Every structure is written in structure tokens, then in C-alpha cells.
Amino acid sequence: MLRVLVVEDNPVNLELVKFLLEEEGCQVTATDRGEEALQLAASMPFDLILMDLQLPGIDGYETTRHLKANPATASIPVIALTAQAMRGEEARALAAGCKLYLTKPLNTQQFREILRSITAGPQGSAPSAA
């Protein structure tokens, strides 16, 4: 089961993302603040972080840079979510350390495929034979 941290300050978008993640069997933790995301990521294990780029307080770029600068959280893949899709924004998100960049409203089919590719990946959290 993927443990996913969702950093999103828009309640409607959070509900959609949570629904899609839980439908795929993910365990979801959510926050609307970058500062809290850093605390959560440092104190709980996550397999994936979904990061809204436009956040109150420190934004998604800055939050991602902090995650990537901390050895304890640097290896967690971060997928950027944005409502703006401005020129240069994708490059900026990737430069901050995001692995992928998705625009809102979310393409739900594409999102499911991305989740499945992460779940099925060689470093995915395949259940151990217990």
C-alpha cells in the first residue's frame, strides 16, 4: 500500500485527489500547509508526495526544495499539482526537485495510470510474502 502525503489548500481538489488515491488503495495523509508537510514527512514514512505549488505560507516550490535538501525525505518522489500552468512553471517545478508536473483540473485517467506505474515500479511497496 502506498502511503501518500497530499499537500493541498483547495478543499475541492483535496477531496478529488483523496478519492482517487483511496480508490487505488493508498493511505492518505493531508495538510494544507508547506510547513506542516515538512514536519509530517520528517516524522512519518511516505512513498509519494503530491504537492500543490500554490500554497499559503511557504509555497510548493519552497516546500519541495526543503524536502529534497533533507536526507531523510530527499528520496520521496514529489508530484507537483498546479492550477496555473504558466510558462516556465514546469521547468521551475522540476528544478525544485519535483519528479512530475500535473495541471488541475486533474486528468483522472492519467492520474490513475501514474499511480499504478508508481505502485508497480521496482521500488514500489509490493507486499512482502508474509
Give the footprint of Mn ion on this chain (CB under 5 A): 9, 52, 54
Chain residue at closest Cβ approach to Mn ion: 54
The answer to whether the CB of 79 falls within 8 A of the CB of 107 is: no
Quote the least distance from Cβ 61 to Mn ion, whole Å.
12
Quote the least distance from Cβ 116 to Mn ion, whole Å.
26
User: Which CB, 36 or 119, lies closer to Mn ion?
Assistant: 36
Quote the least distance from Cβ 58 to Mn ion, whole Å.
12
User: Which CB, 13 or 73, lies closer to Mn ion?
Assistant: 13
For the stretch 35-57, what's the b/e string if a residue is b when 16 or more beta carbons lie within 10 angstroms of its beta carbon? Answer: eebbebbeeeebbbbbbbbebee
User: Which CB, 9 or 62, lies closer to Mn ion?
Assistant: 9
DSSP-assigned states of every residue in 8-47: ---HHHHHHHHHHHHHTT-EEEEES-HHHHHHHHHHS--S
Quote the least distance from Cβ 9 to Mn ion, whole Å.
4
User: Which CB, 16 or 119, lies closer to Mn ion?
Assistant: 16
Residues in the chain: 130
